[in-house]
Amino acid sequence: MEQARILVQGIVQGVGFRPTVYRLAKKLNLNGYVRNLGNIVEIILEGKENDINQFIVDLKENKPPISEINSLNVEWLNGDLTVYNDFKIIPSSNNFSGASVIPPDVATCSNCLEEMADPDNRRYKYPFTACTDCGPRFTVINSIPYDRERTSMEDFPLCNECEVEYEDPEDRRYHAEASCCEVCGPEVFLYKDGILKIENPIKKAAELIDEGKILAIKGIGGTHLVVKTTENGPVDILRQKLRRFNQPFAIMSPNIETVKGFAEVSGVESDTIQSRRRPIVVLNKNSNYSLAPSVSPYLHNLGVMLPYSGLHHLLFSYSTEPAYIMTSANMPGEPMLINNEEIISKLDGIADYFLLHNRRIINRCDDSVVRFRDGELAFIRRSRGYVPEPYDFSGINKQLKVLALGPEIDVTFSILKEGKCYVSQHIGDTTKYDTFQYLQNAVDHMMDITKTTDFDVIACDLHPMFFTTKLAEEMGDKFGAEILRVQHHHAHAAALCVDNQVDEVICIAADGVGYGEDGTAWGGEILHTQGASYERVASLIPQQLVGGDLTTKYPARMVMSMLYGSMDVDELSELMKTSYIQQFKHGEREVELVIKQLETGFNTNITTSTGRVLDAISASLGICDKRTYEGEPAMKLESAAYYSEGVVDIPYEIEKDVSNNMEYLNTSKILLKCIELKQNGENVNNIAFGAQKAVALGLADLAINAAEKTGVNIIGATGGVFYNEAISVSVRDKVKSEGYKFIQHKNTCAGDGSVSMGQTAVASWKME
């Protein structure tokens, strides 16, 4: 007889890993035990060597569906050994310092759905049905090891029947921490001025939604506001109450067949939307689109998800609607609402009814959002279904402990420990007090579940006034850690490099704004990135940003900034007053004030932002004259271009400044051509197409020129602008046509959601 000790590391807790080990060992007549040790499962096997080796093969091939094995180490034992007479699952041990890899929340599995649909099953129509293959994980965990008593399910002691399942290693609910039934589990109830005495609150909620009522529905990681989608009226009422007059709403549809009735769905989109992670997938509307236009106004696409909890499935079983709006029930940038009292008080006057439950949500977690660009996946928000799965940094730095706090808006944070980078769920806008508090609490909790007690480095943005920068300084003092300030676009580029496993790249970083090394607002940059260092080698031509946030809200001001210097002042004033005066809140007086600011430089900043350029083009074409939600002018520009005939080409010019050896794309001339074409009667959609393409090709040419000079053969694209499919494809095709390799984000966000991960990478390279 031989004995072996096997240590398995990865996502191996709360996923049915130990009962799988138990069944495989019993099948091969092996003795010993299995238990959790932090983020490691320890297996002791006693038996024939061939059988132990076969066990290892079987475990790799038959691991639980939501588990992941990152490493499997085998140590053959000898000496004075303990003799085992059976194989057992023994209690978890806390005697291990490693970080625990907690699995993310995953959608209700087919087995549980079958039980919920079976009138003879004791879980018939029970909304909290779950097993080791599905259900909440991250949102219910308090601490590790991941056992029921350390989750919010501790509030619901198991009944006798559930206890039998929970203790049976042959059952798929063995140590399924979220397992329960209607006898012992959470309860759902309908609320309006008190709890309503209704036999079937979910059925009643569906009836109310179908009648046009607005419901607040508490889910797994937060709360949604829900309304029907087949009529404009209820959607418009929700918009008025939320003051979200144009922002597209995410929707939930019962199944993929229904989705195909109103949206185009490719094979990869179908696979993703139906996956156990169940993200929101941005899909193009099809020719049969029949939902209310106000669901996603003035856009060619909309965000769609399928049910991921038992409660969602039950709602649709009682409804005739093809889709519900399922929008986060919090103000933009603020934390998800998770406490029943808070949900009721904060949504009073917005929701007509509340469908709530009594299970505590420990960790907020927004829905994840993805879209596909010519078949390639792009994360817009990486949260539910993915967090807290770590990224592998073992090839960069295994020893360093880093906390990276991200930018200021669309924040995530990251913790690096033992070569694993844990990127948090979406946090939001830290300029808001509640969100800033949420950030700090979420950091504390992530430290707990990764068993992190201190840090070597605190990484943050270069901007000195960000709240996250101030927090980094405080935490640096607390832990005696070094503060590392990372330029915003360098962090973007670093995340891109890690995602694609490259060390050096010519990176196109195009977004709204990032604080530059020179104190100006960058956002259209070509960076030669080499790990911990970078050089800015080209950019869009610098433009004046008049009035800061006013210009982002009213992009006609950016039109004036871009045209100033290319037009006579009187001519510019006349153009604005005759063709664009409706876009200025204060009319001619504001036009004159902006000109004075441009002439004097008063209350202006310098920017190379691609986002502001796209906003200006959108405003100049009359597509969007006021931003009411993040990215609105550029998103509407993309949709206008989507419906074009693709027949307009707009020239672009690259200029060189010999004083600093920098190349610039002249965006003012692109804008001038757009206005000229519009005045000559060209179709606005065609101009939008040509303008996007000109910006894309100009950026690509800047990058290609830089690659030629430096000898780098990889060109990459990062930043929120590269959520735009047409721009991404144009840049990609141009780069590849010149013989260069082109890379984009695959498992990280092109936008600010992965900035903290990039900050972590820069710290790792710098401190290696």
18 is catalytic: yes
How far is residue 10's CA from residue 8's CA, in Å, rounded to a whole number? 7
Distance CA(313)–CA(108), nearest Å, equals 9
Residues 6+ apart with CB under 8 A from 600: none
Beta-carbon count within 10 A of 535 CB: 11
Lookup result for tokens 């202006």: 604
Which 3-state string (H, E, C) describes 365-396?
A: CCCCEEEEECCEEEEEECCCCCCCCCEECCCC
**Rounded Cα distance, 76 and 49, in Å:** 10
* Catalytic pick among 5, 23, 29, 36: 36
35 is catalytic: no
**Rounded-to-integer distance, Cα 527 and Cα 707, Å:** 10
Asked if residue 708 lies in contact with residue 458, where contact means CB atoms within 8 angstroms, the answer is: no
Residue 174: its H or E element: none
Q: What letter would DSSP give residue 296?
A: S
102 within 8 A of 151, measured Cβ to Cβ = no
The Cα–Cα gap between 26 and 241 comes to 60
Cα dihedral 132, 134, 140, 141 sign: positive
Contact residues for 88 (Cβ-Cβ < 8 A; gap 6+): 22, 32, 33, 34
| Residues whose CB falls within 8 Å of the CB of residue 485, separated by 6 or more in sequence, listed in order | 459, 460, 461, 462, 469
Pairing of strands 324-328, 353-357: unpaired
Tokens representing 633 are: 């002018």
Phi-psi region of 435 (alpha: psi -120 to 50; beta: other; left: phi over 0): alpha
Is residue 461 within 8 A of residue 468, CB to CB? The reply is yes
Catalytic residues: 18, 36
